[in-house]
Structure 1
Amino acid sequence: MTARRLDIANLTVRARGGARAPLVAGIDLSLSSGEVLALVGASGSGKSMTCAGALDVLPPGTWRETGTLLVDGEPCQPKTVRGRKVATILQAPRSAFNPVLTMRRHAEETLKALGFPKPRWDAIIASAMADAGLGEPDRILALHPFEMSGGMLQRMMIALALMSEAPFLFADEPTTDLDLIVQSEILDCLDRLRKERGLGILLVTHDMGVVARLADRVAVMEAGRIVETGGIDRMFHEPAHPVTRRLVDAHLSLYAPDVAP
């Protein structure tokens, strides 16, 4: 892992047909190795669309009007970055796996697609699974998705991302649909990986508790635009934008009602 900085510059995404407002408008984000940048906002604010637009994996009916992806200041085509400089983990891991393939087949297809020589596969798989907190690799690799819990599948998705040896990770709602204990374990895993591997993590979430636990900086989105950015302490204690204040107030009302306004 040699890249130290990832930038998304002037990203604008639109829906095809019609002159409606852009889905994402003029987004600028920077991410350094070993850092967690939380991209937060209400559902539909454009968080996931920003990640998809940056990596050029937008859903049908949308297109990237403008935007540049830079690695260490050098513009790069998204197709050369996906899975090589930027790995991705998604929410709802059960829907992300092919139900008829074992975990070994998923891992081998990943490594084959990335061009790793076959003699290295076993070592890469074992290392990634250990770093993702998956013991008994031989047993787990023989399992199909339906034979695994949501927490195990999320860890396996993290392991697949690590197999790419990418220096940056886009984590889109990585704890959604997991119980609180497993959520905590996944967040601990991500925190350890950013420290041990120097991963730069773009953490997409609407959960300010996840932000407080893991993030160094926060970027707040509303209606497809970044409305505020800042360090974690300032964003929680001195939020400037009404959207940020609402997110923090909602979090405090649920988890710290005695200090909520």
Structure 2
Amino acid sequence: MHQLALPVLLAAVGRTFATPDGSREVLRDVNLDVHAGEVIALVGPSGCGKSTLLRQVSALDTPTTGTVAVGGTPVTPGDRRTAVAFQEPRLLPWRTLAANVALGLPLRTPRAQGAARVAELLDLVGLADSATLRPRQVSGGMAQRTSLARALARDPGVLLLDEPFGALDALTRLRMQDLLVNVHETRPTTVLLVTHDVEEALYLADRVVVLRGLADPATAPSAGSVARVVDVPGERPRDRADHVLTDLRAELLEDLGVPTHVRP
């Protein structure tokens, strides 16, 4: 039985890092309520704390202030209710794709059950015929699909994706976005996705969370916190050319300081 999708609650989360000159505040007073099964995209300028926020939910890092809860209870280091896929696939080169996926299985999974689960996940991401290949023998997109399957092998209630398609070429990236839509439909876990691509955020997410950047003096009073949350209309799969999405794209780019037209 698959683990049910779980809600995520961030309450007044802040994160400050010690530096040789004192300290550096990356997140400040972040409040976010993510519903079970929802897909949330986190966007914002570089250095605004998107990946740091993801690390708080995964318990790979601990907030300086505030709390993070998954399914109503605080996250803890090694929390098996969450799983992370990074921008780099981070596959072990000496293992086959199937063996890399198997690394995500819960400990003490019976061998036959584990093999069946790995086969199921490889089929889900379109790699059923590539199980015995090694990372050097496959494309970047195939390696990233393997990484996604490995994260799903953990059967997470919350799937955390940190720029998972950022290193891929444009066409492969679009195909991976469609794959994620299909995977979420098949295994509707809660998803938090960090991306720099506004179009990707609008295509995949139920809501887009815009974070303010610390480096901009004009936004310093709200540095490192949620600037805006945008509801994305329509059900997946969406029409990439939908004028509603293109209008939202323009709004979000304006929020991020990227004008989409020249005003008179």
Which category of TM-score, normalised to the shorter sequence, fits these structures?
Answer: 0.7 to 0.9
Whichever residue aligns with residue 147 of structure 1, its letter is Q
Partner of 1:148: 138
Equivalent residue number for residue 256 of structure 1: none
Shift of 1:144: 2.1
Assess if the C-alpha contact under 8 Å between 1:218 and 1:235 holds in 2.
no
Number of residues paired by the alignment?
240
Q: Which residue of 1 aligns with 2:63?
A: 64
Superposed, which structure 2 residues align to 1:73-152 within 5 Å? 74-79=72-77, 81=79, 84-93=80-89, 96-111=90-105, 114-136=107-129, 140-152=130-142
Output the amino acid matched with 1:180: A
What amino acid is aligned across from residue 231 of structure 1 in structure 2? D
- The equivalent of 2:149 in structure 1 is 159
Q: Where do residues 171-186 of structure 1 align in structure 2 (5 Å cutoff)?
A: 171-186=161-176
> Taking every aligned residue pair, what percent have the same amino acid on both sides?
28
Which residue of structure 2 lines up, in the alignment, with residue 226 of structure 1? 226
Output the amino acid matched with 2:153.
M
* Structure 1 residue aligned with 2:254: 245
Q: 1:215 to 1:173 in 2, by over 3 A?
A: same
- Contact 1:68 1:75 survives alignment (8 Å): no
Mark the CA change 1:35 to 1:19 in structure 2 (over 3 Å): closer, same or farther.
Answer: same
Higher helix share: 1
Which residue is equivalent to 2:220? none
CA contact (8 A) 1:38 1:204 kept: yes
CA distance in 2 between counterparts of 1:103 and 1:228 reads 40
1:52 aligns to what? 55
The answer on whether the counterparts of 1:212 and 1:232 sit within 8 Å (CA) in structure 2 is yes
Deviation at 1:19, TM superposition (A): 4.1
Q: Tell me, yes or no, if the aligned pair for 1:249 and 1:260 is still in contact at 8 Å.
A: no
1:36 counterpart residue number:
39
Asked if 1:23 is matched to 2:26, the reply is yes
Q: What is the letter of the counterpart of residue 177 of structure 1?
A: A
Secondary structure at the aligned position of 1:142 is classed as coil
Q: What is aligned with 1:12?
A: 14
- Aligned residue for 2:77, secondary structure, equals helix
Go from structure 1 to structure 2 and tell me whether the alpha carbon gap of 1:248 and 1:151 turns closer, same or farther (over 3 Å shift): farther
Tell me, yes or no, if the aligned pair for 2:82 and 2:159 is still in contact at 8 Å. yes
- Structure 2: tracts of 5 or more residues without a match: 215-223, 234-243
Query: What is the CA-CA distance between 1:173 and the residue it aligns to?
Result: 0.9
Offset of residue 156 of structure 1: 0.5
Q: How much is the aligned-residue C-alpha RMSD, in angstroms?
A: 2.7
Tell me the alpha carbon deviations over residues 27-71 of structure 1, each in whole angstroms, 9 at most, x when there is no partner: 22222233211100111111001111232324xxxx631232223
TM-score (structure 1 length as normaliser): 0.81
> Any gaps of 5 or more consecutive residues in structure 1?
254-258
TM-score (norm 2): 0.80
